[in-house]
Copies of this chain bind each other. A is one copy, B any other.
Amino acid sequence: SVNPDLASERQTASFSVEKLTAWLDGGVECTRMRRAVVDAIESDPVFSRENQYFQSQNERYEAAVRKAVHLQRKMREMGWTENGPEFKYIYRAVSGDVAFLLHRVFMRSISVLGSDKQIAKWIPLATQYQLIGSYAQTELGHGTYIQGLETTAVYDTTTQEFILNTPKISAMKWWPGDMGRSSTHTVAFAQLYIHGKCYGVHPFIVQIRSLRDHSLCPGIIAGDIGPKMSFEHADNGFLMLQNVRVPRENMLSNFCEVQPDGTYTRRGSEQINYLTMTTVRIALISDEVLVALMKACTIAIRYSVVRRQSKLKPGEEEAKILDYQTQQEKLLPQLAAAYAFHTTNDYLQKLFDKSYSEIQKNNLEVLPELHALSSGFKAVITQHCTSAVEICLRACGGHGYSLLSGLPSLYTKILASCIYEGENTILLLQTARFLIKCFMAARAGQPVPPSVTYLATEKLGKCPARNKLDFLSPDIYTEAYQHTAIRLTSSAAAKLQDLVQSGAKKHDAWNQCTVQLVQAAKAHCHYITVKNFTETVEKLEPRAGIQKIMKHLCDLFALHGIISNAGVFLHDGYISGAQMDMVTASYLDLLPVIRKDAVPLVDAFDFTDKSLNSALGSYDGQVYQRLYEWAQKSPTNKQGNPAYERYLKPLLHNTLSKL
């Protein structure tokens, strides 16, 4: 039975939860299909995550491999294919704990970087799992700066082979997923040397384990890198190469080739490679980051209407903690952010689709904008959502800190997204470089991509809002965001120019401006998010109450952003102190309004109890009962007390001296 404190929250929804779910999914049909996939996966015991919080790294790894292997069968059984419409729901349904994700990256890199002949040879082997692939790029000493990789591949004309080596310890491959214990082959990146000359980093297919008995191949030292904050199920690995020879044909040669005699030829543009990174970063936002935040909001908000603590009014019963202003202030902006970034994700997806069809027509001009936006948003959204999940965790007090709440694993996993697929600060600086370039071009009257045309406008002005209600006007706050994005970009550009004009070298000047450049890049992404959210809300059907509640969330997101970055808006007086008080007043007024719909708003994310895997967040709100039931399953309660006979008993029985 549903806890009455949670049930009552569902009776007063101002909108249709089912319709909001369909909107989030992109249509009723998508919702139906997603639920069918989730149901098929969750009803299969192999995919159960019931004991996940009690498992060791070894157990988690074994389960992830079991699930990955079983998934192949399941897909055949269900008639799902990698290109079918169901595929995108599978990852969400298994909740990420599955092996062989890098096998797909192995295949994709061959498809993009390999020649037709290489594709014809390797892709069928990989598709049929006659080998297991991984992707060995990162080294102990090098991450995002790929040019610095130290692994070497020296071409030997006599045998027509490449000799791969790890010349020093920092050159060891480190972190590649699926490589520590599973994969038989990998795409290894190495500095290519021919006749003593270095040609830069190239990809090579290297077999690392025997296909017969899985033992390491000659010259290969490989293993698992050990425990991490999360991803216990993944065998992130290390790889040392000692005079490992691979045939000439194993260098992926869509863009460049080494002839038998060592002649090096290059063809086509490698720019298209950016497209792969872009795809991965955009997929990451929807598959890893948004899902994690939506789950965290679901757990924290449901718990906050079940948890009663202290009294709001003397003499009354204890209040639901969500009725406290401070709790609303913690959680509701995170809920608004989940919806805001959902619309940003749609925006990025559409931009990608549009750009992709241009690229198909050989128009590569769209790439810089796509790259800048996907880099910037990867950084901004992972960072924002990581903080948001942490806030959700802390807002649940002690119980949020228990693994059984599900929040710690969401947090430790989303935290990694700030680091992998490009370190966030470096990504933001790439966005900033694009912004500065476009800013200069725009001010010189040259054409710039659509997302940055606004940089051409030069308005000083003041915010025209006169009372707190004015700040519920999307024009007012969007304009404010635009203003600050322009101001920060323009002042970073001015500082750069000043430094260069006073004699600083370009790279020195750049380094001295990086803190402000990062700020400008963030402001740009923040502005696009707010603008896009408001435009999305305007286009919504006013029926079914959805537009109204989305408008509230959009307002809250925008105003919360202004308050959180108040200094940026107040700096040049665009918003005055008195106006900032209006922003605060409107913001605080919105909290109790959205609070009424908080539970329906998280219900609409439509996570099953199994996918939440949280004692605090289940649909029925039986929080305390479930914490107790789950705790009893802990291995700490099952295997007797290892410390009693050895330590506690001698201590208590005063035989300590005999120890």
Contacts and interface: CB of A to CB of B under 8 A. Distances in A.
Contacts of A97: none
A572 B566 contact: no
Interface string A399-443: 011111000100010011011100101000100000000000000
A363 interface: no
Contact of A314 (B227, B507, B577): B507
B641 A181 contact: yes
A87 interface: no
A624 B631 CA distance: 39
Interface stretch (A64-72, A292-300, A370-378, A541-549): A64-72
A65 B632 CA distance: 22
Nearest to A402: B228
A66 B643 contact: yes
A636 B56 CA distance: 10
How many copies of this chain sit in the oligomeric assembly? 2
Given A570-B567, A635-B56, A515 B227 contact: no
B577 A566 contact: no
Interface in A146-170: 148, 169-170
Contacts of A325: 511-515
A181 B415 CA distance: 33
Interface in A560-578: 563, 565-573, 577
A402 B651 CA distance: 37
Interface in A617-637: 624-625, 627-628, 630-637
A628 B514 contact: no
A416 B399 CA distance: 11
A179 to B, nearest CB: 12
Contacts of A273: none
Contacts of A130: 652, 654
Contact of A226 (B170, B229, B630): B630
A42 interface: no
A54 B419 contact: no
Interface in A13-55: 53-54
Contacts of A224: 631, 634, 636-637
Interface string A98-120: 00000000000000000000000
A142 interface: yes
A140 interface: yes
A329 B518 CA distance: 11
A519 to B, nearest CB: 10
Contacts of A394: 415, 418-419
A637 B514 CA distance: 41
Contacts of A2: none
A57 interface: yes
A630 to B, nearest CB: 7
Nearest to A591: B515
Nearest to A572: B577
A631 B225 contact: yes
A274 interface: no
Given A309-B148, A401-B415, A627-B140, A425 B326 contact: yes
A199 interface: no
A315 to B, nearest CB: 10
A143 B226 CA distance: 36
A391 to B, nearest CB: 11
Contacts of A404: 226-227
A403 B228 contact: yes
Nearest to A574: B577
23 contacts: A69-B656, A140-B628, A141-B307, A175-B398, A214-B648, A214-B649, A226-B402, A226-B631, A226-B637, A227-B402, A228-B402, A238-B628, A325-B515, A394-B419, A400-B419, A401-B415, A412-B412, A516-B584, A566-B571, A567-B569, A570-B570, A571-B577, A573-B577
Interface of A: 53-54, 56-58, 61-62, 65-66, 68-69, 72-73, 128-132, 138, 140-145, 148, 169-170, 172, 174-175, 180-182, 184, 211, 214, 223-229, 235, 238, 307-310, 312-314, 318, 324-326, 329-330, 390, 394, 397-398, 400-404, 408, 412, 415-416, 418-420, 423, 425, 429, 505, 507-508, 511-516, 518, 563, 565-573, 577, 580, 584, 588, 624-625, 627-628, 630-637, 639, 641-644, 646-652, 654, 656, 659
Given A169-B625, A172-B624, A180-B636, 20 more contacts: A53-B226, A57-B634, A57-B636, A62-B646, A69-B647, A132-B651, A143-B397, A144-B310, A170-B624, A214-B648, A224-B637, A225-B631, A225-B634, A226-B403, A229-B401, A229-B412, A312-B507, A398-B419, A401-B415, A512-B588
